[in-house]
Structure 1
Amino acid sequence: MRPAPVSAVVGTASDAISRANGELLAAAWAEDGGTVLATVRWPETAASWLRPARRFAAPEPDVWLVAATVPGWAAMGRRLVTSTAWSPARTFATTPLADPELIALGGIGTFDGLRGAYPDGRLWTVQRTLLRPWATG
């Protein structure tokens, strides 16, 4: 049995909705006894994603929590996969990222293991480069 995750890094796009959702994620994580090691924001477009990707991955948390938009997170994910030890299987995302467009922009395998929840409580995951319902049992 794996220990429960304790530490998290929160990542957000720079738009107001993503930032607000990131703050909610961080507050909920801390309220439940977790430690937020860092909050990292990135722009929707960038000449290079290396700096935010390294800042996001460097603390080596138990999990990453993401509140972002599809275009920015797709670019960030591509950089994370090629330049850091980030794992999508240890990453939880907000509903806007439960979008097949994210997978198309990210490329094959980039987001395999990424998961999250819809507002109604249903869970989703990216599995073999497809967005699928997440069966927990």
Structure 2
Amino acid sequence: MPSRTPLVRHAGTGTGPAPEPHTAAELATLLELLAGRRRPRMEAVTIGHGRDAASRGAADAFGAAWHARGGHVLAVVDWPETAASWLRPARRFCAGEPDAWVVAGAAPGWAQMSRRLRHSTAWDPDRTYGLASLGLAALVTLAGPGTLDGLRGAAADGGTWRIGGGLIVHRPNPG
């Protein structure tokens, strides 16, 4: 039986603020990040998202844009903000060997999910791209040291962010 990953403990009474709806600039930047990878062309992705409306909307919009570019979505996996275990969605998220993972959600739920992924699967944050809702210093703290190193994503203004060494670095949109 696999050992359990401890639950994320965070201050506050709720799960934190709900993600904002995605922006056109954010979606365009995310697509550019995936297209710009220096490895064989990205074709197959798995999309993961929290269960709030903004995260579902962002996942749907990305999936449609990815298909329009000729890409393939292997799976769309959601997860709750709070649960006793994230093992089932973590296994579904890693099935099928995607070229990349794309994620939308609130920090507490994704922190739990990413901890379970690191503990129980072959998931690689360096092949994972997030939307603006995950570009938060609080996410790095919630997930724990090294859990998300390599994760990168798009900011609402079309800039980018990247996690490494326990820090998140934001680069504004140059345009």
- TM-score class, shorter-chain normalisation, is over 0.9
Q: CA deviation at 1:119?
A: 2.1
Question: What is the RMSD computed on CA atoms of the aligned residues?
Answer: 1.3
Higher relative contact order (CA 8 A, sep 6+): 2
* Residue among 87, 93, 98 paired with 1:61: 98
Aligned equivalent of 2:86 = 49
Aligned position for 1:24:
61
Structure 2: which 5+ residue stretches go unaligned?
1-37
CA offset digits 1:89-111 (Å, max 9, x no partner): 00110101000110001000000
Tell me the SS of whatever aligns to 1:20.
helix
Distance 1:58 1:130 in 2: 29
Sequence identity (%):
51
* 1:121 partnered with 2:136: no
**Structure with a larger share of its residues in strand:** 1
Equivalent of 1:93 in 98, 107, 130: 130
| Shift in Å, 1:133 | 3.0
Alignment match of 1:103 (pick from 135, 140, 146) = 140
**Structure 1 runs, 4 residues or longer, greater than 6 Å off:** none
Cα shift at 1:128:
1.0
When the two structures are superposed, what TM-score results if normalisation uses the length of structure 2?
0.74
Which position in structure 2 is the counterpart of 1:133? 170
| Shift in Å, 1:59 | 1.6
Any unmatched runs of 5+ in structure 1? none
Is structure 2 residue 99 aligned with structure 1 residue 80?
Answer: no
* Partners of 1:126 and 1:66 in 2: CA distance: 14
Tell me which amino acid in the other structure corresponds to 1:115: R
